[in-house]
Structure 1
Amino acid sequence: MTQTIPQDILNALTDVDMPRLAPEPGFDDKLSLAGHVIPVHRAGATVVGSGAAGLRAAVELKRRGGDVSIVSQSAWGGTSACSGSDKQTLHTANTADQGDNFKEMARAIRSGGAMDEDTAYIEAVGSVRAMASLQFLGLPLPQDGLGGTLRYQTDHDEVGRATSCGPRTSRLMVKVLAQEALRLGIGFFNQTTAVRILSDGNRVTGFLAIRPKDRSEQNPLGLALFCCEALVLAAGGPGELYRDSVFPNGCFGSLGLALEAGLELVNITESQFGIGTRREGFPWNLSGTYVQVIPHIYSLDDAGQECHFLADYYRSTQELASNVFRKGYQWPFHAARMLDFRSSLVDLAIFRETQKGRRVFMDFNRNPLPVPGDAPFDLDRLDDDVRGYLRNAGADQALPIDRLRHMNPLAIELYRRYKVDIAADPLEFAVNNQHMNGGIAVDPWGRSNLAGVYAVGEAAGTHGATRPGGSALNAGQVFGTRVAEHIAAAGRASVPAQGQAPGVAEAVAAIDALLRPVTGVPLQEVRREVQARMSDTAGILCTAEEVRAALRDARALNARIRAQGIAFGRSSEAGRALQWQQMALASEAVLAALDHYISSGGGSRGARAICDPAGTALPMSVQGPLDDVRFRPEREDDKASQITLRMAGGRMTLATRPNRAFDEGAKAFFERDWPAWLTGAIYDLPSPPLD
């Protein structure tokens, strides 16, 4: 029997209003440089990014006495605030049902490989604290009558460590953290885009940003200088890298920014793809109950003819329907799940339909059509795991829309807010890029290879080849706190930075040389070329030849930009032009790392199938072998290492390093280990200079 949730409760969990920003802090002074009068702001630490991870770092540092400011391209406009799925997951330790311990959770987090073992344990042991602090701030995580947190199973998680406030979980996280940041009086610079990191050769000294609101005759680009002792990069992932993307518009991340500063990147071969609605409309992941209610999936050809294309892949109606359901907790595409008629065969089928130029839809008012020659769809004729789940959920309604209304009415309400009524009309969707698992290489305290620069959230390359659903949100909260603890322990961010940031004159000159409104490579041309190349050659299906050719083209594009600069139309687009120049660098870096991995014999893992006529893994359909997607399986040894990349002088250098180990047999002993906490030795800080 369907339980009716009052509309006001649905509204509160769907329409999440964000707090109004306080008046912006003033600038401390001005710097006249090469035709630019640049305002200067000084802080002990600056966080670039206003998502859940960045806000956590800022709040925790302020609580520890840090002088901290936040810089954001668009407050509440990033992935944390604007993206999600049906009941967006926060992955945390499980304290009920089968029980759990942190070592087991760490094994699950790192089970996909290419992840540091100590990082996985840090995320596991910090998850309880992260969740409790969010609840303290007012995040309405659901509980049972005895105070236990309600949990469910999600992708790459066999125990059931996921919990959720509904589709707006991460937005609610941003809201409660933003409210705390405002309560603490943290300075916030909105519509401010970081474009160049500055250092003295050994340590960060600040960064240049572009602020359209500060553009004037004296400051034609709207440049601003932010001086700081510590810089936390929390600007999310490179959503604009792909044409087919479920990221909100304008998500550039900081990979290009990091490359230009000489920061080391890691694991940028690893991304995540899955079904979702594109950002041209309302970008959203179609995991969880959207597919667990088993809607009918079909495509339309050029003549408007409906195609029941999944029936060309699966052997029976039961097999087809059960694997549509499994996309709920096996949402990301994974090459191995194309085998044995499993759930990623659904992704492959959808991808191939869109390659044919067809549009693909979910219809929640129809059950799946039968596979020709087989019995019709029946809730009693599903695989045991699927039938058991729906029975336990009480989802025995006749139609998918009624099952969805029963299991998760918020999933329907969410699309209605964006003028899409899935209760009345089919929903168009596709396979899209959703998450970058790699990023800036960091140590167990979130430090990069440039002293004073930290990275958290999706900007940090901590997630490995695969990850349990929602673990990225947890990682951002855990490492946001650890970064704040480390900066505070270092004692360098308690007062504003002093002096002028070295290298600012050279950085301004480089920006001036790059921005050539008339003669440069047009911004829109760079965008089209980068996005088409990444979606067409670095999506879920790759070949060695295509990746190598794409890398050559990416290098050629960056050579043109270095020689000609980048052109743009309106002066207000200067910041966006620099972001696309950096996105072109990020594209080359991803392709370079991917080419390195494939040419070294690397196989299919995580996001991509490495298609190879000599591959030993061959997906099958009901019509026979799918020879065009024969692929190399992953080599077990590759799980134990990670690919790193750095750029110097326009050249990208790649290497492979083993995962950092964690000794599961080591045990803490209170009296022995307490002094390291009391003295701050746990923070691994440089020794003070001798007098």
Structure 2
Amino acid sequence: MTHDPRTLRIGGHDVPVVTARTVVVGTGSAGYCAADRLVQLGHRDVVMVADKIHAGASRNAGSDKQTYYKLTLSGGDDDSVHEMARTLYDGGAMDGDNALAEAALSARGFLHLVDLGVPFPQNRFGEFIGYKTDHDPRRRATSVGPYTSRTMVEKLEAKVRRDGTRVLDGCRVVDVVTAPDPAGGPGARRVVGLLVLRTDVPHDGAACPWLLFRCTNLVYATGGPAGMYATRVFPHGQWGASGAAYRAGVHGKNLTEWQFGLASTKPRWNVSGTYMQVVPRFVSTDADGGDEREFLSEAVPDYGRLATLVFLKGYQWPFDIRKARDGSSLIDLLVHRETVLRGRRVFLDFRRNPVRDDFDASALSPEAYAYLERADVLSGTPIQRLRRMNEPAYRFYLDRNPRVDLETDLLEVDVCAQHNNGGLVVDAWWQSNVAGLFPVGEAAGAHGVYRPGGAALNSGQVGATRAAQYIAARRDDDPVDERTFAAAAAPVLDAALDLTARATARAAAGVPDNTGDLLRGVQRLMSEKAGPVRSARSVREALDQVHAWLTGYEDLVTADAASRRAVDRTFLVRDILTSAYVYLSAMADYVAHGGRSRGSVLCTDADGDLPLVGHGPDAARELDLPDLYRFRLDGGALDDEVQETAWVAPGGGVPATDDGPTWAPVVPRDGADPAGVPVFRWRPRRPLPQDDDFFENVWRDFRDHGNIL
């Protein structure tokens, strides 16, 4: 097929429609991998769409040494597929079939990238040398430097271009088009298409700004809902489109499980690895940059302990509540107090040593001292240590916008949202509960509470491969006929046209455009009330505000018809508000279910404990911190359960419950709720599969159906 748009009459409107068996939404490493694998497997009727091809986390995010996690492929260390699967599964609340698939296909996905030209380091005998990353008992991690995921995207994109797959840019996801699924149970839905807004087409011109896709499958590689948070290290332009999936009936999984960590904010970049190991000085200022204070020493007066905790952030970069009472994540909490509670700005100062002018390495822990001794950086200033240990890490900021010279400038940082370990529910083939919709990459809720560093890059490649295998083998049917499609798409298109007409009419009547204000408002609210430190009260306050915005959205949002950006934001903000509403409801349900602090989140508990001073005679004394920071650890109490979420549209029914526990709302509201109602259930996680691996049996099944069931 040419995949050229063909104008169809949809609900009384002439709209261009592209027809393809499979549409891949998103042009990150997972999306390109899916498109590549589909063509490789003989499923060539594929088209890709993106809101902005060169945006997104895969292409624009990274760290000091961005990690890719896979099965051990060097040396004499013991390892196996099931051992790696167990490591992933032990992160808590992860389904076993996803864990086994991510382990089993890790080598295949990794070596595919190698063959495409990603230069993962190998020794002279061809072994791919590894190192340990966080939550990793083996040396499974590898890297090509700060831009591992960017290199992956570039090589995968080049392959997709060589395959001739069409890629459409400037397409904002508006809604997923679904229809009843005859093959499913009561209330089951299937994908039949996608509605997007062409952001490169003026809304007040002659050309139609809407574009519909008629398809059998959607590979949903839209990334996590990064747009919900103001304080985030996700690159600008990474927004996500999870709201459209929830409105279409796709369930969520483990939505409470985010990963937060220290990052620079201008530009956005993780300050892990060497940036922390050289022990920079932390300072805070008022909003205007005055009243400079070295605030860490207020809470951690012991010089050696303070320097060691900062050093350890290089190894232990993500905020981990298990290390918050007397470990390195105390640094994150102290930064959070400065920025959120005190309203101050926090900076890293590489020009001067912390606390004192000279650097007393002898006060460090033996682990930290030995590392810096091997690097021959036991003296000097942090910038001198950084440039000796990792010159590219210094030069990185010289090439950014805005440019920062760590020799002369302070680097502003905060505790930022970095990755959503939860997401849209997936089965063993990365298909959601809506037939034909396959979330892959960060959009998929494939992870548990904890995951090894770099597991997300592997998960994206594995999920994309599994989805492509299933589509090529089991979902190679033509899209529904034009009449069936038009009937399903008409109400979706009508709703989008009505929202646009209302928003632009208010602007024409003189009401100021408020799309930017609404966007910033929800982002600030989420960072303040539902970030790495949250309480039942703060979550409920945020939930009530987001519910009010979403309930009145059609009569609230105002957009200038002459501004493509404003009309685009009308749907972007709606998507973010929908996601925030579902996620906040999940956070409230987690607390109501008895959930406590775990992963990268502190849940305030009035009966909990505060972090400790943690040294010498004061080892057991609690720090003088607000009660907001009192917490009790979950201790793995909910590791064997998975929280699932469904968004019930106004007037819709609660999902069928014949496959598990019943669904219930956490915040009952009287009457029909115009914002819809998120409902929840807690189910046992799927165990690690223990199949019979007798060769003859597997070979026979593979010959019969490829073991794609």
Check conservation: 2:253, 2:425, Cα contact below 8 A: yes
> What code does the residue aligned with 2:246 have?
L
Match of residue 26, structure 2, among 37, 49, 53: 49
Residue 254 of structure 1 aligns with which residue? 241
Residue 655 of structure 1 aligns with which residue? 681
Query: Offset at 1:91?
Result: 1.3
Is residue 673 of structure 1 aligned with residue 704 of structure 2? no
Query: What is the distance in 1 between the residues matched to 2:392 and 2:196?
Result: 39
Structure 1 residues 65, 96: closer, same or farther in 2, change over 3 A? closer
Query: Offset at 1:379?
Result: 2.7
SS for the counterpart of 1:328 is coil
> What code does the residue aligned with 2:688 have?
F
SS for the counterpart of 1:291 is helix
Check conservation: 2:15, 2:208, Cα contact below 8 A: no
Residue 290 of structure 2 aligns with which residue? 304
Identity %: 38
SS for the counterpart of 1:657 is strand
SS for the counterpart of 1:612 is coil
Check conservation: 2:192, 2:479, Cα contact below 8 A: no
Is residue 213 of structure 1 aligned with residue 216 of structure 2? no
Match of residue 282, structure 1, among 259, 267, 284: 267
Greater Cα offset, 550-559 or 223-232 = 550-559
Greater Cα offset, 328-337 or 96-105 = 96-105
Check conservation: 1:114, 1:639, Cα contact below 8 A: yes
Deviations 1:443-471 (A, max 9, x none): 01000011111010000011111211111
Residue 499 of structure 1 aligns with which residue? 482
Query: What is the distance in 2 between the residues matched to 1:546 and 1:608?
Result: 14
SS for the counterpart of 2:42 is coil
Match of residue 517, structure 1, among 499, 504, 509: 504
Match of residue 327, structure 1, among 302, 313, 327: 313
Is residue 434 of structure 1 aligned with residue 418 of structure 2? yes
Residue 347 of structure 1 aligns with which residue? 332
Residue 263 of structure 1 aligns with which residue? 250
Residue 104 of structure 1 aligns with which residue? 83
Residue 407 of structure 2 aligns with which residue? 423
Structure 1 residues 579, 149: closer, same or farther in 2, change over 3 A? same
Query: What is the distance in 1 between the residues matched to 2:358 and 2:591?
Result: 43
What TM-score do you get using the length of structure 2 for normalisation? 0.87
Residue 542 of structure 1 aligns with which residue? 534
Check conservation: 1:313, 1:345, Cα contact below 8 A: no
Is residue 143 of structure 1 aligned with residue 135 of structure 2? no
Greater Cα offset, 257-266 or 112-121 = 112-121
Query: Offset at 1:155?
Result: 2.2
Deviations 1:514-573 (A, max 9, x none): 2222449932332133112211110111111121222122222211115x2632124413
Greater Cα offset, 93-102 or 170-179 = 93-102
What TM-score do you get using the length of structure 1 for normalisation? 0.90
SS for the counterpart of 2:223 is coil
Structure 1 residues 25, 571: closer, same or farther in 2, change over 3 A? farther
Match of residue 436, structure 2, among 452, 460, 470: 452
Deviations 1:316-366 (A, max 9, x none): 2221111111111211112221112x1010001111111322221112232
Residue 587 of structure 2 aligns with which residue? 594
Query: What is the distance in 2 between the residues matched to 1:223 and 1:539?
Result: 35
Residue 20 of structure 1 aligns with which residue? none
Query: What is the distance in 2 between the residues matched to 1:644 and 1:596?
Result: 10
Deviations 1:170-212 (A, max 9, x none): 1100000000000111110011122111122222111111113
SS for the counterpart of 2:161 is helix
Greater Cα offset, 173-182 or 299-308 = 299-308
SS for the counterpart of 2:63 is coil
Query: Offset at 1:86?
Result: 0.9
Query: Offset at 1:396?
Result: 4.4
Query: Offset at 1:154?
Result: 2.4
Query: What is the distance in 2 between the residues matched to 1:393 and 1:100?
Result: 30
Residue 86 of structure 1 aligns with which residue? 64
Structure 1 residues 73, 39: closer, same or farther in 2, change over 3 A? same
Is residue 403 of structure 1 aligned with residue 396 of structure 2? no
Residue 16 of structure 2 aligns with which residue? 39
Check conservation: 1:84, 1:170, Cα contact below 8 A: yes
SS for the counterpart of 1:182 is helix
Check conservation: 2:3, 2:47, Cα contact below 8 A: no
Structure 1 residues 25, 272: closer, same or farther in 2, change over 3 A? farther
Greater Cα offset, 599-608 or 212-221 = 212-221
Query: What is the distance in 2 between the residues matched to 1:363 and 1:168?
Result: 24
Is residue 532 of structure 1 aligned with residue 561 of structure 2? no
Query: Offset at 1:576?
Result: 2.2
Query: What is the distance in 2 between the residues matched to 1:228 and 1:37?
Result: 19
Structure 1 residues 318, 146: closer, same or farther in 2, change over 3 A? farther
> What code does the residue aligned with 1:358 have?
R
Check conservation: 1:43, 1:497, Cα contact below 8 A: no
Match of residue 462, structure 2, among 478, 484, 494: 478
Query: What is the distance in 1 between the residues matched to 2:143 and 2:405?
Result: 23
Deviations 1:365-421 (A, max 9, x none): 323224xxxx96323432122223334445446332233223322212221111222
Structure 1 residues 485, 174: closer, same or farther in 2, change over 3 A? same
Structure 1 residues 325, 96: closer, same or farther in 2, change over 3 A? farther
> What code does the residue aligned with 2:558 have?
A
Residue 194 of structure 1 aligns with which residue? 173
Query: What is the distance in 1 between the residues matched to 2:430 and 2:642?
Result: 17
Check conservation: 2:100, 2:689, Cα contact below 8 A: no
Greater Cα offset, 425-434 or 140-149 = 140-149
Match of residue 379, structure 1, among 348, 354, 361: 361
Structure 1 residues 159, 315: closer, same or farther in 2, change over 3 A? farther
Query: What is the distance in 2 between the residues matched to 1:68 and 1:141?
Result: 29
Structure 1 residues 81, 303: closer, same or farther in 2, change over 3 A? closer
Query: Offset at 1:146?
Result: 3.1
Check conservation: 1:123, 1:478, Cα contact below 8 A: yes
Query: Offset at 1:513?
Result: 2.1
Residue 92 of structure 2 aligns with which residue? 113
Unaligned 5+ residue runs, structure 1? 1-23, 685-691
Query: What is the distance in 2 between the residues matched to 1:322 and 1:430?
Result: 20
Query: Offset at 1:36?
Result: 4.1
Structure 1 residues 498, 619: closer, same or farther in 2, change over 3 A? farther
SS for the counterpart of 1:646 is strand
Deviations 1:642-670 (A, max 9, x none): 11111122121111111110145x44111
Query: Offset at 1:103?
Result: 2.3
Query: Offset at 1:437?
Result: 1.1
Query: What is the distance in 1 between the residues matched to 2:515 and 2:548?
Result: 16
Greater Cα offset, 326-335 or 235-244 = 326-335
State the number of aligned residues: 651
SS for the counterpart of 1:637 is coil
Considering only aligned residues, what root-mean-square deviation do their CA atoms show, in Å? 2.3
> What code does the residue aligned with 1:479 have?
G
SS for the counterpart of 1:464 is coil
Residue 304 of structure 2 aligns with which residue? 318
Greater Cα offset, 319-328 or 514-523 = 514-523
Structure 1 residues 376, 110: closer, same or farther in 2, change over 3 A? farther
Structure 1 residues 212, 424: closer, same or farther in 2, change over 3 A? same
Check conservation: 1:57, 1:483, Cα contact below 8 A: yes
Query: What is the distance in 1 between the residues matched to 2:293 and 2:203?
Result: 57
Unaligned 5+ residue runs, structure 2? 182-189, 508-512, 650-675
Residue 488 of structure 1 aligns with which residue? 472
Residue 14 of structure 1 aligns with which residue? none
Check conservation: 1:87, 1:411, Cα contact below 8 A: no
Residue 659 of structure 2 aligns with which residue? none
Query: What is the distance in 2 between the residues matched to 1:507 and 1:303?
Result: 49
